[in-house]
Copies of this chain bind each other. A is one copy, B any other.
Amino acid sequence: MGAGGSLREVSRRAVQSRIARTAESLFVAKGFEETTVDEIAAAVGMSQRSFFRYFASKDEVVLDSLERLGLDLVTRLEARPLEESEWDSLRHAFEPVVERLADPEMREHDAALQKIVDASPRLFAAYLGRLDGLQRELSELLLARAVRRCGGAPDTVVLRAVVGGAFACLHAAMVHAVARPDDFGHCLDRTMEAMRPAAA
């Protein structure tokens, strides 16, 4: 039970990525708001109704890859040693992002996505919403780890702020990386070092 049906799941993923690829090229060509779901569905060769069977909304087509990246961050953070400081653990959890931007092909693809997201306030807001959800996940994870390390529960407000602060560094570095994609990792390191909190 749980993670079963992998054969069906695989074909579902295949259809999803076919839709995503088609949609993204349309978004690049015409813009996000200007592209209708009907057009995407027609380009893929399915009905509009079927499109919504693979993606809950038009937003999700773009934000889906972010979702999968988020899962990476969670597993990365889980793998960090207990005695490491939260700030350092978060920095290491961000490594998948750095790696992704190191690959030139991925970087180009992500830059295109970022451009699409930035061009639509509505989509950008949805993007921030996903980021916030990820921060909540990581906060809970770090909270559980802190309890396991020392018995008592730590200051949850500060912990949440630490996670938010780390994401602020990540976000600032990513904005910078749009203009200068090289040495993203170094830029992130510098920013997180400047922002390292006294506590945690």
A129 on the interface (CB 8 Å rule)? Answer: yes
Q: Is the CB of B197 within 8 A of A195?
A: yes
A190 on the interface (CB 8 Å rule)? Answer: yes
**Cβ contact of A175, chosen from B121, B160, B172, cutoff 8 A:** B160
Which interface residue of A156, A157, A167, A196 has the most chain B CB atoms within 10 A?
A157
Tell me, in angstroms, the Cα distance from A155 to B186 when the chains sit together: 14
Q: Is the CB of B125 within 8 A of A157?
A: no
Q: Which residues of B contact A173 (CB under 8 A)?
A: 157, 161
With A124-B129, A164-B167, A164-B169: A157-B187 Cβ-Cβ less than 8 Å = yes
Fill in one digit per residue for A153-193: 1 if any B CB lies within 8 Å of its CB, else 0: 00111101111110111011101100000000001001111
Q: Is the CB of A161 within 8 A of B199?
A: no
* A169 nearest CB neighbor, chain B only: B161
A137 on the interface (CB 8 Å rule)? Answer: no
Q: Which residues of B contact A129 (CB under 8 A)?
A: 121, 124-125, 128
A7 on the interface (CB 8 Å rule)? Answer: no
Fill in one digit per residue for A104-135: 1 if any B CB lies within 8 Å of its CB, else 0: 00000000000000000110111011001000
Interchain nearest-CB distance for A154 vs B (Å): 11
Tell me, in angstroms, the Cα distance from A168 to B195 when the chains sit together: 12
Tell me, in angstroms, the Cα distance from A157 to B194 when the chains sit together: 10
